[in-house]
Structure 1
Amino acid sequence: MKRLFFLIVLLATSLGYAQDEEREDDLGDVTDAFQTNFFEALKQKGIENYELALNALQRAQNEAQDEPDQLAVVYFERGKNYAALKRYDEAEVTYKQVLEIKVEQLDVMEALYDVYYQQKDYDKAVPLVRQLIRYDEDYKEDLANLLVRTKEYPQALELLDELDLKWGESAYRNALRRQIYKVTGDKEGAISSLEGKIDKSSKNEQDYLNLIYLYSEEGKTEKAFQTALELQRQIPKSELVHLALYKFYLDKGQADQAMLSMDVIFSSSQIDKENKFKVLNDFLTYVGKHPEMQSELDKVIGKFDGQDDGKVYEQLGDYHLSRSDRASALRFYRRGVEKDPNNFSLLKNTLLLQIDVKEFEPALELSNNGLELFPAQPLLYLLNGVVNIEMGNPERAIEVLETGLDFLYDDPKMERDFYRQLESAYNQKGNSKKAAEYARKASELKLDN
């Protein structure tokens, strides 16, 4: 027997173990056979040989000699392999075995929650998530979702209101709330209830916000607007009310008032990015119909300077592109890519526009960088090939295009584009035979109408 200190990976591989963040976890005396079989199981799981991993774990269990800590790590790994094989019933049993040894082990409870969710067993998930909330309050949002699924609508609404009061409004929670109203179908009852609550206590911001939403859903726009104004009177520092007010002001053509509300929204730390992007999109649509507001756009853009999320720049680029202002669109796309290089949609739009305006050198650099980030995206190989052809690099174009074909699956239209670019590359190289071969392949492809 020898003393062995196991890495944290044995108890928390599901949490993204990194070798440069090692922690020792003393599991006591273990045999060489236990160690060998356990690490064999980890290796086999790592290459997705789950059945072989389970076999190795059984051998490790046989060597564990009923030592609780060793059995716990074996059971946990076994559960993860069962879950990977979608054998959820067995995963559930095995995770529960771990929890009998390691009571309320967080990563095990999280894994068990995932099993319940995959099985759509929401009734079992609810009490488990209530336990998880003690460790991480972010799970309250999961609980609200589960309560909707278990049709415990009053509890769900109460929790959604609590979260909005504590964390501010979110698009996700609003969607859950709308789902409840839709399912219950009792919007008038909900309106009456909220009106009564507001009459008794006029200082609950969330009650006003819910009432504004319900009035709007029922087409009672003026009542919704007046309720928003009343909320602003009662709680002058409310930031969330402006998510309603800006829209009312735009609809009424009161652009100056709308700008004041949007200024609050874009400066607010209480309002999430998703809602800010929605407001920006509404404003861009409004400016598109009212060109006299174009000068206000730069003021709005300034509110987003320094953000790392490229989505706002993508929206601004899309707006200018819709107005055929390609130079401005490309300027915003480029800023977005600099801020958010992992945004594939933004990367694609930037490359397409660069090629369109014949900015081939920047497009070559960007597509090369993109291929490092997204090495399995065939479109990037296609665009990189196009750029190399335009820059007179047929050999590099051929290499890239042929590599990209290996990543293409069930997309005849893009496949035809690859063949046509390979035809061009071989013609540029002076190989008419190969060019004709790819021209034939392109013509033989049948595309769905």
Structure 2
Amino acid sequence: MKLKTLFYSLLLSGFLGPAVSYAQQEPDEMALATDEFENNFYEALKQKGIENYDKAIQSLQKCLAKQPSNPVVFNELGKNYLAMKNYPEAEKAFLKATELDPKNRWYWAGLYDVYYATQDFNRSIPVVQKLTEWRKEYYQEDLVSLYMHTRQYDKALALINELEQTVGQSEKREVYKLQILSEDKYKKPQKEALEAAIKKNPKEESNYLQLIYLYSETNQEAKAEEVAKLLEKEIPASDWAQVSLFKFHLNNNEGEKAVASMYKILGSAKIDRKIKHRVLNEFLIYSSTTTKYDADLEKAVGYFEDEKAINVPKEVGKFFFNKRNFAKAAAYFAKGLSTKEDDIETVELLLYSYAEDLQIENLYKVAAEYLEIYPTHARLYYFAGLASNNLKQHNKAKEYLENGLDFVVDDTELESNINRQLGEAYKGLGDDKKKQAYFEKADKLIKAKSNK
């Protein structure tokens, strides 16, 4: 027997379920019928594999002619119809498969795929409830989302509480829970229930957090702070207590206490990075009007040195840049470049900051250094020329600026600035005629831009 035939004989006898009765058939007829079914089924799998779903369905229909009650064939039909986005036919096929063999979870999973694709949340619920018989915790997570989508908040809340006890908390479920608790009908009874739960079990952290949220939502900040302090007292190691206390310390202008809470939050392995970013941002805003917390801010930024998705020093630099605090902006942009040295945007922001803060030596050093890496970047020539003019090195400035003009593309403002600096270079060299020519050219460029 061929390998393919042997494999599919095993597949069809063991996995496809009992074949039709062969009691009344001659041996040759039986072999012929079996080969025909196998060949059609194999052809269906092959066509599905190359995404010829129509042909796969035709072959499966031939299989059904031989075995009209075979659930595997209906399951395969469902997969092909689903791939074609023929959802009504896919639903019918999977329903038939589950009817013929209700103990096979893959048939139910196929039916769920149809309802998920069509966003039919109400029909999804009984299917997912069935699927929990096989993978309880996995599908209970889906069930929570389905209850939320269908606004069955009582069921969602009950299931969330159950999962908290069995598998612990998750960020997604916490978001759902807070959404439910924000509904008026849940607020008062939930507050009372949480207060009672805290008295009964003062070491359960989640009850404090939910109660803090509820008080904050109803603008009862004093009560929320009271609960946060109680949490810190009962569970001194609670990192989540510090998240709430940090906010209260800022609101109360208790900077030193806020700093202490911030360090605990940033150093915690339990607290999500999004929350850490929010804490840093709030402290940045709080501390930006004074130099008192400069060292604390720098230390806080250091907690994000391994951050891949966001260059945190660069973002802090932008904050100070927009506040026109160019000295601080430059310090953070320089730190940002130590994290990602080839970020040309950070390079330009650093150079702008050095220019505005009159850090001329640093301006020249960085511009010249990056010109070796980006020799066609016109703005670097401008900054190198600007720095050279300020350092009274006018010949060097002229060389940088003339080279820079060759690389300006569709940037009238930059072209005008380079021409103006060329005028300054020739002024320093004592060539008044060329000085005047470049100044006039710079003015014409700006005037032409404003008239567009």
What residue number does 1:264 align with? 264
Counterpart check, 1:40 vs 2:47: yes
Counterpart check, 1:147 vs 2:139: no
Once the two structures are TM-superposed, the CA of residue 69 in structure 1 deviates from its matched residue by: 8.2
What residue number does 1:322 align with? 319
**1:48-84 alpha-carbon deviations (Å, 9 max, x no partner):** xxxxx331112221454549586266325314314xx
Quick one: distance in 1 between partners of 2:302 and 2:75?
52
What residue number does 2:157 align with? 157
Quick one: distance in 2 between partners of 1:290 and 1:111?
61
Quick one: distance in 1 between partners of 2:102 and 2:74?
7
Quick one: distance in 2 between partners of 1:259 and 1:242?
10
What residue number does 2:79 align with? 77
Q: Is the 8 A contact 1:320 1:329 kept in 2?
A: yes
Q: Normalization by structure 1: what TM-score?
A: 0.60
What residue number does 2:224 align with? 224
Using CA pairs below 8 Å that are at least 6 residues apart, which structure has the higher relative contact order? 1
Judged with a 3 Å threshold, the aligned counterparts in structure 2 of structure 1 residues 34 and 196 are, in CA distance, closer, same or farther, namely: closer
Question: What SS class does the counterpart of residue 241 from structure 1 fall into?
Answer: helix
**1:116-156 alpha-carbon deviations (Å, 9 max, x no partner):** 23434323323433455553735444322222233332332
Quick one: distance in 2 between partners of 1:336 and 1:97?
58
Quick one: distance in 1 between partners of 2:329 and 2:230?
44
Judged with a 3 Å threshold, the aligned counterparts in structure 2 of structure 1 residues 140 and 268 are, in CA distance, closer, same or farther, namely: farther
Structure 1 residues without counterparts, runs of 5 or longer: 7-27, 46-52, 339-346, 366-388, 398-416, 419-449
Quick one: distance in 1 between partners of 2:292 and 2:316?
16
Quick one: distance in 1 between partners of 2:259 and 2:335?
22
Judged with a 3 Å threshold, the aligned counterparts in structure 2 of structure 1 residues 223 and 287 are, in CA distance, closer, same or farther, namely: same
Quick one: distance in 2 between partners of 1:195 and 1:264?
26
What residue number does 1:93 align with? 92
What residue number does 2:309 align with? 310
Amino acid at match of 1:240: W
After TM superposition, list the pairs within 5 Å mapping 1:205-220 onto structure 2: 205-220=205-220
Judged with a 3 Å threshold, the aligned counterparts in structure 2 of structure 1 residues 360 and 61 are, in CA distance, closer, same or farther, namely: farther
Q: Normalization by structure 2: what TM-score?
A: 0.60
Q: Is the 8 A contact 1:239 1:264 kept in 2?
A: yes
Quick one: distance in 1 between partners of 2:2 and 2:375?
57
Moved over 6 A (4+): 335-338, 389-394
**1:384-407 alpha-carbon deviations (Å, 9 max, x no partner):** xxxxx979689xx9xxxxxxxxxx
Q: Is the 8 A contact 1:34 1:61 kept in 2?
A: yes
How many residue pairs get matched? Answer: 332
Once the two structures are TM-superposed, the CA of residue 355 in structure 1 deviates from its matched residue by: 5.6
RMSD, matched Cα: 4.3
Q: Is the 8 A contact 1:267 1:303 kept in 2?
A: yes
What residue number does 1:123 align with? 122
Judged with a 3 Å threshold, the aligned counterparts in structure 2 of structure 1 residues 252 and 184 are, in CA distance, closer, same or farther, namely: closer
What residue number does 2:292 align with? 292
Amino acid at match of 2:114: V
After TM superposition, list the pairs within 5 Å mapping 1:134-213 onto structure 2: 134-135=134-135, 137-163=137-163, 166-168=167-169, 170=171, 172-213=172-213
Once the two structures are TM-superposed, the CA of residue 303 in structure 1 deviates from its matched residue by: 2.9
Once the two structures are TM-superposed, the CA of residue 212 in structure 1 deviates from its matched residue by: 0.7
After TM superposition, list the pairs within 5 Å mapping 1:338-349 onto structure 2: none
Once the two structures are TM-superposed, the CA of residue 326 in structure 1 deviates from its matched residue by: 5.4
Structure 2 residues without counterparts, runs of 5 or longer: 9-33, 322-327, 352-366, 377-402, 412-452
Quick one: distance in 1 between partners of 2:126 and 2:344?
49
Quick one: distance in 2 between partners of 1:41 and 1:332?
54
After TM superposition, list the pairs within 5 Å mapping 1:339-378 onto structure 2: 350-354=343-347, 357=351, 359=370
Q: Is the 8 A contact 1:164 1:206 kept in 2?
A: no
- Which structure has the larger Rg over C-alpha atoms? 2
Judged with a 3 Å threshold, the aligned counterparts in structure 2 of structure 1 residues 58 and 116 are, in CA distance, closer, same or farther, namely: closer
Quick one: distance in 1 between partners of 2:194 and 2:319?
42
Once the two structures are TM-superposed, the CA of residue 176 in structure 1 deviates from its matched residue by: 1.9
Quick one: distance in 2 between partners of 1:256 and 1:214?
27
Quick one: distance in 1 between partners of 2:146 and 2:375?
48
Q: Is the 8 A contact 1:354 1:360 kept in 2?
A: no
Q: Is the 8 A contact 1:57 1:78 kept in 2?
A: yes
Q: Is the 8 A contact 1:213 1:224 kept in 2?
A: yes
What residue number does 1:384 align with? none
Percent sequence identity over matched residues? Answer: 26
Question: What SS class does the counterpart of residue 291 from structure 1 fall into?
Answer: coil
Quick one: distance in 2 between partners of 1:279 and 1:175?
18
Quick one: distance in 1 between partners of 2:262 and 2:221?
19
Judged with a 3 Å threshold, the aligned counterparts in structure 2 of structure 1 residues 183 and 292 are, in CA distance, closer, same or farther, namely: same
Q: Is the 8 A contact 1:88 1:115 kept in 2?
A: yes
Q: Is the 8 A contact 1:167 1:270 kept in 2?
A: no
Q: Is the 8 A contact 2:316 2:329 kept in 1?
A: no
Amino acid at match of 2:80: R
Quick one: distance in 1 between partners of 2:182 and 2:288?
33
Amino acid at match of 2:45: F
Counterpart check, 1:56 vs 2:55: yes
